[in-house]
Amino acid sequence: MKIALLDNITGFGKHDWSVYWVLIWFSCGLLALFFGFWTTTEQTALDWFYFAVSIIGLLCVVGLSFRKNIAGNGLGMLATAGEVVVQATSGAVGLMLAPLFNFFSHAYGVKYWASNTDADGDMVPKSANKYVWLLTVIFIIAGLLLFPVINRWLQAQGYGVISDDGSRFLGMIDFFWINVIGFVLSITAQATMILRYSFNWWLWILVNAVWLIVNIMTGNTIFAIQTVIYQVNAVVGLYGWYRSEQLAKGIR
């Protein structure tokens, strides 16, 4: 299904509004980040470092949605390396697992995407067959089953990723499991993105929905707003990747 507005935003339509869209989206994200930074931190050197890493993260995710290798994977390596430093210096050593995984996946993506580009130098996505979908579902289920066990082992070593404090969302779902779901889905979404599967954006939409709940439960209003901004980018990325995939197949 073609949507004229999204065609124009992603550069596939009658009008190329991609640059205008990126500027508007990035400006909204930057304002949300800066407001959160200025009102909720003491503006220490580490706070400024985290703010800079967050800005690089904004540029990275919009680069990925528009299939730009260096802007996406290159800046992704820089952003995730910064996240590793932030987590380590704040004492959350367990939380270094996700950015470490993302760093090496982006490093692989730099080379892999470069060898799968169109005439404009943009990465060409590919569709997933039923076996890829099945493997993805199995990976998610295995991750959900194994993560609590791994997390308990890490806690025994003093490096726990997520603590089970007994809190619940709407009095029904454990906050611990919401975090576990978000963690496993984000790792899966990252892997499928680097492997160029268009459906990765469906996973990122789920991830953003889960992290929005986490941010609301923790009272992190600014990052809840940022998650909404990321969600808008995920929708654009989903549409843009599928349209690129269709055009590569000769489907207009």
User: Between 252 and 185, where is the model more confident?
Assistant: 185
Res. 160 pLDDT band, cuts 50 70 90: confident
Distance, in Å, from the CA atom of 248 to the CA atom of 242, rounded to the nearest integer, reads 10
Residue 172 clears pLDDT 80, i.e. is over it: no
Res. 205 pLDDT band, cuts 50 70 90: very high
Res. 167 pLDDT band, cuts 50 70 90: confident
Please count the other Cβ atoms lying within 10 Å of the Cβ belonging to residue 150: 14
Which range has the top average pLDDT, 27-41, 182-196, 204-218? 182-196
Residue 185 clears pLDDT 90, i.e. is over it: yes
In this predicted structure, what is the pLDDT of residue 188? Answer: 94
The residue among 208, 190, 57 whose CA lies nearest residue 49 is: 57
Res. 222 pLDDT band, cuts 50 70 90: confident
What share of the chain in percent tops pLDDT 70?
94
User: Between 118 and 155, where is the model more confident?
Assistant: 118
In this predicted structure, what is the pLDDT of residue 56? Answer: 93
Please count the other Cβ atoms lying within 10 Å of the Cβ belonging to residue 97: 18
Residue 95 clears pLDDT 80, i.e. is over it: no
In this predicted structure, what is the pLDDT of residue 252? Answer: 66
Average pLDDT value for residue range 105-131: 93
Tokens of 107: 């490093």
| Dihedral in degrees, nearest 10, Cα atoms 225, 237, 60, 185 | 70
Would you list the DSSP string of 108-134?
Answer: HHHHHHHTSB-TTS-B--B---HHHHH
User: Between 167 and 128, where is the model more confident?
Assistant: 128
The residue among 249, 214, 1 whose CA lies nearest residue 125 is: 249
Average pLDDT value for residue range 238-242: 95
Please state, in angstroms and as integers, the Cα–Cα distance from residue 94 to each residue in 81, 148, 160, following that order. Answer: 15, 13, 5
